[in-house]
């Protein structure tokens, strides 16, 4: 008895060249799509709150917050562009052609690299604030931070254009049928990419935060052993305590970043070609995307100014005249 296999095509009009849709349980797909959609919406909302808060309230226009703003912008676009398209692609079919396939992967790589660059800049900022506090205001200015952020994004655009040059010229090279969007990073390009966008930045981040931790511990011990009643010295102590608290909070952000990013680079560590088609790569990619949702959650838990600004935004007090000059606790 002959068993006739039933399947669905991505493009039924192209019987000989269309990809087949994978057989999937309808209930599982609904649950998966709902969960991923909630993550996408939450990522957009939380990062939009960060963007509005730092952009609107003048009190938050500090060099450190400008770095957080840049990170929030990249995270917002992950939730706004990358996640929704990836959710639709989870069904196994790519409906938007080869040009958008190449553009999607290119933008995805840019946002990833920009996030890594922002993490490095944040680590440098905390290092200078803790290890050289007297010169911080002179070395780290808003203008210099804006320049560094601009260079970070420009380098990300240029670098990923070079890494993906062959793929962008021929996006359908690794597609076995019409309706796929697969990017494959060769071992050589993967090795370069892992050094430039992971090993190098992570090494810098870890070294700087180890130094920050050592200095913060020594400062805490000095403050406990020397009690003074001079107002100016008290002010300095409060400032140092505030800086250490900011360093600790941003240290948690960096730790979450490492946990989410490390699995994504596992194939390169293992000496394998990094393909976007297998299930493990898709899972690791979504773990990387989830970092964009977790960053503002950390801000909400540890930054009083973020919770205060959210209250002003949600209660629409932000629409009142001169609300940009409001005092944020």
Q: What is the pLDDT of residue 297?
A: 86
Q: What is the pLDDT of residue 28?
A: 81
255-281 pLDDT, tens digit per residue, is 888 888 878 776 666 555 555 445 667
pTM of the model: 0.84
Question: How many secondary structure helices (H) and strands (E) does the chain include?
Answer: 13, 2
CA distance 193 to 183: 14
Q: What is the pLDDT of residue 169?
A: 84
Confidence class for position 75, pLDDT limits 50, 70, 90: very high
223-263 pLDDT, tens digit per residue, is 666 544 444 444 444 445 555 565 666 678 778 888 888 78
- Mean pLDDT of the region 214-221: 70
For the chain, the helix, strand and coil percentages under 3-state DSSP, each to the nearest 5: 75, 0, 20
CATH H-level superfamily of 26-325: Rhodopsin 7-helix transmembrane proteins (1.20.1070.10)
Q: Is the pLDDT of residue 53 over 90?
A: yes
CA distance 166 to 160: 11
Q: Is the separation of the CB atoms in 76 and 47 below 8 Å?
A: yes
- Residue boundaries of the structural domains of the chain: 26-325
Q: What is the pLDDT of residue 226?
A: 58
Q: What is the pLDDT of residue 7?
A: 63
Decide which of 261 and 318 is more confident. Answer: 318
Q: What is the pLDDT of residue 231?
A: 43
Strands (E), 137-284: 184-185, 274-275
């Amino acid at each position: 008895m002959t068993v006739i296999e039933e399947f669905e095509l991505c493009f039924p009009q192209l019987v000989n060249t269309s990809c087949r849709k994978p057989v999937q349980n309808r209930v599982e797909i609904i649950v998966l799509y709902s969960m991923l959609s909630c993550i996408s919406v939450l990522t957009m909302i939380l990062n939009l709150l960060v963007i509005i808060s730092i952009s609107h309230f003048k009190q938050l226009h500090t060099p450190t917050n400008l770095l957080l703003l840049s990170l929030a912008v990249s995270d917002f676009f992950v939730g706004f562009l990358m996640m929704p398209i990836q959710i639709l692609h989870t069904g196994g079919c790519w409906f938007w052609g080869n040009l958008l396939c190449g553009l999607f992967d290119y933008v995805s790589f840019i946002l990833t690299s920009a996030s890594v660059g922002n993490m490095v800049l944040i680590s440098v900022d905390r290092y200078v604030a803790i290890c050289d506090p007297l010169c911080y205001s002179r070395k780290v200015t808003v203008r210099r931070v804006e320049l560094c952020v601009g260079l970070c994004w420009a380098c990300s655009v240029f670098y990923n254009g070079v890494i993906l040059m062959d793929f962008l010229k021929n996006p359908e090279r690794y597609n076995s049928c019409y309706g796929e969007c697969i990017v494959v990073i060769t071992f050589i390009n993967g090795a370069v990419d892992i050094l430039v966008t992971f090993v190098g930045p992570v090494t810098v981040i870890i070294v700087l935060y180890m130094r920050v931790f050592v200095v913060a511990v020594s400062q805490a011990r000095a403050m406990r052993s020397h009690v003074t009643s001079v107002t100016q010295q008290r002010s300095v102590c409060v400032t140092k305590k505030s800086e250490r608290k900011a360093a600790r909070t941003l240290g948690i952000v960096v730790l979450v970043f490492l946990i989410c990013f490390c699995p994504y680079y596992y194939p390169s560590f293992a000496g394998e070609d990094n393909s976007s088609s297998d299930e493990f790569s898709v899972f690791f990619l979504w773990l990387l995307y989830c970092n964009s949702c977790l960053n503002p959650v950390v801000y909400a838990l540890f930054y009083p100014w973020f919770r205060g600004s959210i209250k002003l935004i949600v209660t629409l007090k932000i629409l009142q005249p001169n609300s940009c000059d409001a005092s944020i606790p």
